[in-house]
Amino acid sequence: MTIKALDDIVKIAREKETRRLAVAAAADKPVLEAVKNAYKEGIIIPVLVGNKSEIEKICKEIDFDLNDIEIYNENNPALSSVKAVELIREGKADILMKGLVSTAPLLKAVLDKEKGLRKASTLSHFALIESPYYHKLIGVTDAAMNIAPEFTDKIHIINNAVEVYHRLGIKNPKVAIIGPLEVVNPKIESTTHAAMLNVMNKRGQIQGCIVDGPFAIDNAVSKEAAEHKGIVSDVAGDADILVAPDLNSGNVLYKTLMFMGGCTSAAVIMGAKVPVVLTSRADTDKSKMMSIALAAAM
């Protein structure tokens, strides 16, 4: 199975049970516009937490009918995050979304050992990207969470990304471990990590995917470039997931694709008990909407 466009994610979400989306500190116009669009598509039911009067004011401005939509009044953004997490723990919501609250208090609520949504030992950012220059959707991780992941962190980051594909119905995604070159150089840690991850995958220690690397980015996404360098691999030129060596490279890759590559993305935080939609102010309206759709499709 191959997914070629983000619109296909919306179709997958429509075919599944409608999910309830808890928005923490929901009094944010761009977020509420994305929530409205997702609600109109029939893929989520909003549950809004935040300053009720501000939420109602914004929704009136954007013509968002709040009839039959639950609103929990909480003026403090950090406490809104705690309340949204509590609603998920109580089974009153299925997905968490960041509104007008800083990332730190939201993640603090998610990671609370007693009252949070911690599942895996590592949370990671995953972006599913539609490019006019690639033959299918491609995932990029991690562009927002893990600054300098250790080797074991990279295993969790891969598993989190692979879980997205499995939930979308793709059984054996191809994972490319990327870096500055396609050969192992003991002086470049990302290349030695890539080789170790490849061996672990071959020995069944990382399952449900095909892992190969190291790859320079051209070899991961271009069969022609890979063939030119004599690389024989099922992953080369056909990668489903690109795993960056660190936050610097992952973030630069992601934003370059968005702002210079003509791409659109859907992004979530994985590793918690539910997907977390954490969009940026710089994200387009379509990206915000597609991020909700990706979480719902899972």
Q: Would you state the pLDDT for residue 281?
A: 76
- The pLDDT of residue 263 is above 80: yes
Q: Would you state the pLDDT for residue 279?
A: 83
Q: Would you state the pLDDT for residue 283?
A: 81
Same domain as 251, residue 129? yes
Same domain as 252, residue 135? yes
Q: Which strands make up the sheet holding 70-73, listed edge to edge?
A: 70-73, 44-50, 19-24, 95-98, 276-277, 264-270, 124-130, 138-141, 241-243, 174-179, 210-216
Contacts of 267 (CB under 8 A, 6+ apart): 125, 126, 127, 128, 143, 144, 277, 278, 279, 283, 287, 291, 294
**Percent over 70 (pLDDT), the chain:** 100
Asked if residue 60 belongs to a domain, the reply is yes
Same domain as 111, residue 166? no
Q: Dihedral (C-alpha) 131, 135, 139, 143: value to the nearest 10 degrees?
A: -30
CA 149 – CA 71 distance, rounded (Å): 38
Contact between 270 and 104 (Cβ < 8 Å): no
Q: Would you state the pLDDT for residue 228?
A: 94
For 180-213, write each residue's pLDDT tens digit. 999 999 999 999 999 999 999 999 999 999 999 9
Taking the CB of residue 167, how many other CB atoms lie within 10 A of it? Answer: 16
Asked if residue 264 belongs to a domain, the reply is no
DSSP string, 155-221: HHHHHHHHHHHHHTT-SS-EEEEEES-SS--TT-HHHHHHHHHHHHHHTTSS-SSEEEEEEEHHHHH
Same domain as 246, residue 140? yes
Q: Which of 273, 271, 268, 264 is nearest to 295 (CA)?
A: 268
Summary mean pLDDT of the chain: 95
CA 127 – CA 116 distance, rounded (Å): 23
* φ, ψ (nearest 5 deg) of residue 35: -65, -45
Same domain as 10, residue 62? yes
Asked if residue 265 belongs to a domain, the reply is no
In which band, very low, low, confident or very high, does the pLDDT at 269 lie, cut at 50, 70 and 90? very high
pTM score, whole prediction: 0.94
Q: Would you state the pLDDT for residue 34?
A: 94
Asked if residue 231 belongs to a domain, the reply is yes
Instruction: Look up the CATH number of the domain holding residue 210.
Output: 3.40.718.10
Q: Which residue has the tokens 């050969």?
A: 183
Asked if residue 172 belongs to a domain, the reply is yes
Number of domains in the chain: 2
For 88-140, write each residue's pLDDT tens digit. 999 999 999 999 999 999 999 999 999 999 887 799 999 999 999 999 999 99
Same domain as 282, residue 242? no
Same domain as 291, residue 242? no
Same domain as 255, residue 153? yes
Q: Would you state the pLDDT for residue 282?
A: 75
Q: Would you state the pLDDT for residue 121?
A: 78
Same domain as 251, residue 131? yes
- Domain span holding position 136: 124-259
Least confident of 6-15, 227-236, 281-290: 281-290
Asked if residue 74 belongs to a domain, the reply is yes
Same domain as 213, residue 177? yes
Same domain as 113, residue 60? yes
Same domain as 239, residue 178? yes
Asked if residue 41 belongs to a domain, the reply is yes
